A and B are shown apart, each in its own frame.
Chain A
């Protein structure tokens, strides 16, 4: 559901939907592995780091965050930000951290495999 609820700006390139399966979960969990963030901040950070490739459909980040929260992967708290505004921050739980690591490893493996295959094909 996470993948289906998200949107990637194509930057002039059509992404096959199958490629995107599982990417949003990895994306969100990886960003939150660094520090707690609020919803809008996650969108901004993803877009900034991918140089605009990942532009998530804004509204759908919230169902994804809520689902992960209810699944015990994230913990949300309302607190004031540096500029004094109250925001809902999401942080990884221990379970979420393990999940993030597992997803990360799988992603690395897949990436390595794809690289190996694509590299062979080019050769």
Chain B
């Protein structure tokens, strides 16, 4: 028999064992239990019975202890997300589910892998070409590109060596300035000659970049002073490996470059390719060797008007590009005052590496931007597609979900399970995507033709940043898209779900809306890609048919390197005369000419400050114009009409009065309405008489705006490095043997270089457009196919879920064509919606492509119309099969079931 004393002791033990921290809570529990027993009855018998019913002391204390644990959300499964054991359980279950439906899993992984792979590839190109283009160079974020500017035409120019030295001396915010200029040289080792890309650099080049040659040394201070004074060369790792047999004692030996012996002073480490995006340099010579490698024979290190340097600078730590720009602008302004003859109207501009205007970084930037937009669109489409697949599968798994909910599983638990499955899918797809990107890493370079026989190097850079970013984007989008079906699947109305009639249509209506939305997204994005592809295709067609101002067809060009062959000026002049005469005699050749430069080559035309009789320029501007040195017959050979005056003749040589032919733009700018013929033009202090006006032509690319340009006779400004131009209906292949024969007849040691048509020369400047077309067409096609599959899926489900409605319509007299029309109209409504949204987006986005478009507006109605038709056809094709299936419904069977 127990008494009140026993009861109080019993309660005290429970309260103590419950381990409640708060004294007030303990007291409250004690009082609560006491009142409980008082309610149950206070007589000894009643107390005995109540204590028996109350249950085991230890069990209750433990239950109370658990109840008073620090609060966890009631939906405590949220916390379970982070518990490794439960996560592993979900992962195992998810893996089993994915393996159980291999078809679904493979399609989903393939879709996502294409999206993630394409995104990773483009990001790795952006990293390798724009952001960190120079492997082995530390702190690239502090490197900036330097160019000159001209106030008169807001154009870009190079920097002269004296200006470069002044920048170096007068600035305070830079660790170093680095001068360089791309060049090429014939390397002769044994009996094999090879054209190698290389660079003329300031002596501090390797030190300032922080790259140590793996053998020997870089250049010493002072190596960049004095005409051809330091014939030293640092060679690239590949050349050392392949041409010099990886000879460890190569330093100190001699190498013939452009026919001149150079002493090898160092070998760069593997992985260093120089500082010109697009090429892997194989040699570097100090700036003192400029006359030997650039502008054949002209010493330009003391000429402030000779601008040839494409430079870089390394900012001091903590200095912003804006601060640095202010400083160099101030220095440029002082140079302008000090050297008005050469620097009037000239400035200096800094660019971040990714905008470097003089190498592949700048020229590929628009292409990479477009490519990034394209692949992100493809990734979104792929995710939307997988999301619709997940929704379809969730529908099939509805009974499983319903049962688990009914058995007490929380909604969060189901969402979590489906999310884990999404995570698994995205992990596998990300890995597969990385593999795809790795395999496709050289694709970009493969799309661009080699220049001068040298393949381009447009590397993909797979570093942790690229993998983290693209992997993160891929997984995040996948999981976000997996969330939609996961959330919808958990929103099950159990009452409906367990009702046999409704079991198949759980939340079906809501889900159909979501799926329709996803298809809308896919159709609209594919539409945008199609429009982009269409615009670029139209641009390329225009480019192919464009008139560059000269006759690109039936004109062949080839180079002859007399400079490397050791020709002096008198010998070269004789060779040129003989060559023109001999080639003129080849059957089918209409005309022949030589010129220092050909239009649309990478090298920039010479540009010089000019003065024109009677023309007063604004006080802060220095008129300048680009020019070319040509032989008589140049205009005829290239098909550039002369609109006034006469062509050059053989009589216009070094012994006669200097003459020039100007183009229409120059005539209009400097002589306005007056006739420029017989007027005077001063170039670099030398007066020349204008003898003719030529029609405008394009000189650098098809997109340029007309700039003043003039021509001078090659004989009056001679160079041994000239290009041979031939007008002939023959193909390069058929002309080559005869040409080689004639060249060899003059000098057996000289061979003509690659023979190209001018059309090919023009085409090569459109690499950016062609890459963009390839990408947009390829991905636009994939996107459209994915969207069509998505549309097909939605329409199939719609038909399946509307069987009863369709059956009723049939029973009420609707015929097959009526149902066909009904289903098709629903699908096409969805397609039309996608096209409207897509057209809206495309109108905004295609403006980004301005740089890549040629003679096509970003809102070209023909392109939009074509994309509309193609998308509509795909829409009809995707809806047709479900629509036909709708007409074959047996109304009796459906209604009876």
Contacts and interface: CB of A to CB of B under 8 A. Distances in A.
Contacts of B464: none
B878 to A, nearest CB: 38
Among A38, A57, A59, the one with the most B-chain Cβ atoms within 10 Å of its Cβ is: A59
A58 B53 contact: yes
Nearest to A107: B494
B500 A39 contact: no
B498 A62 contact: no
A63 B499 contact: no
Given A85-B35, A112-B498, A63 B64 contact: yes
Interface residues of A, number: 36
Contact of B32 (A71, A88, A108): A88
Contacts of B67: 63-64, 66-67, 70
A88 B494 contact: no
A87 B34 CA distance: 10
Interface residues of B, number: 36
A105 B496 CA distance: 11
A60 interface: yes
B68 interface: yes
Contacts of A60: 55, 59-60, 63
A59 B39 contact: no
A111 to B, nearest CB: 9
Nearest to A22: B408
Contacts of A59: 53-56, 60
Given A59-B55, A63-B60, A110-B406, A86 B35 contact: yes
A66 to B, nearest CB: 4
A116 interface: yes
B28 interface: yes
A5 B498 contact: no
Interface string B112-156: 000000000000000000000000000000000000000000000
Interface in A76-100: 78, 85-88, 99
B74 interface: yes
Given A59-B55, A88-B28, A5 B63 contact: yes
Given A62-B64, A70-B68, A88-B32, A40 B40 contact: yes
A44 to B, nearest CB: 9
A1 B499 contact: no
A65 B74 CA distance: 13
B619 interface: no
A109 interface: yes
Given A58-B36, A116-B499, A73 B74 contact: yes
B33 interface: yes
Nearest to A1: B66
Given A57-B55, A62-B64, A85-B35, A71 B74 contact: yes
Contacts of A70: 67-68, 71
Nearest to B68: A66
B59 to A, nearest CB: 8
B31 interface: yes
Contacts of A38: 35
Among A22, A38, A67, A105, the one with the most B-chain Cβ atoms within 10 Å of its Cβ is: A67
Contacts of B32: 39, 62, 88
B50 interface: yes
B28 A106 contact: no
Contacts of B405: 106
Contacts of B29: 62, 66
Contacts of B811: none
Given A78-B28, A88-B35, A109-B498, A58 B55 contact: yes
A96 to B, nearest CB: 9
A122 B420 CA distance: 41
A109 B71 contact: no
B228 to A, nearest CB: 87
A63 B33 CA distance: 11
A80 to B, nearest CB: 11
A11 interface: no
Contact of A109 (B63, B74, B406): B406
B495 interface: yes
Contact of A62 (B33, B53, B74, B408): B33
A39 B39 CA distance: 10
B279 to A, nearest CB: 68
Contacts of A116: 498-500
Given A108-B495, A113-B498, A87 B35 contact: yes
A57 B493 CA distance: 33
Given A40-B39, A59-B54, A113-B406, A88 B499 contact: no
Interface of A: 1, 5, 7, 21-22, 38-41, 57-60, 62-64, 66-67, 70-73, 78, 85-88, 99, 105-106, 108-110, 112-113, 116
Given A58-B36, A63-B60, A72-B74, 6 more contacts: A5-B63, A22-B408, A57-B55, A70-B68, A86-B35, A109-B494
- In the A-B complex, the 5 residue pairs with the smallest Cβ-Cβ separation, listed nearest first, are A113-B498, A63-B63, A109-B494, A109-B495, A67-B67
30 contacts: A7-B55, A21-B408, A39-B36, A40-B40, A41-B39, A58-B40, A58-B54, A59-B56, A60-B63, A62-B29, A62-B60, A62-B64, A63-B60, A64-B67, A66-B67, A67-B66, A70-B67, A71-B71, A78-B31, A85-B35, A87-B35, A88-B28, A88-B32, A99-B74, A105-B494, A106-B494, A109-B494, A109-B495, A112-B498, A116-B498
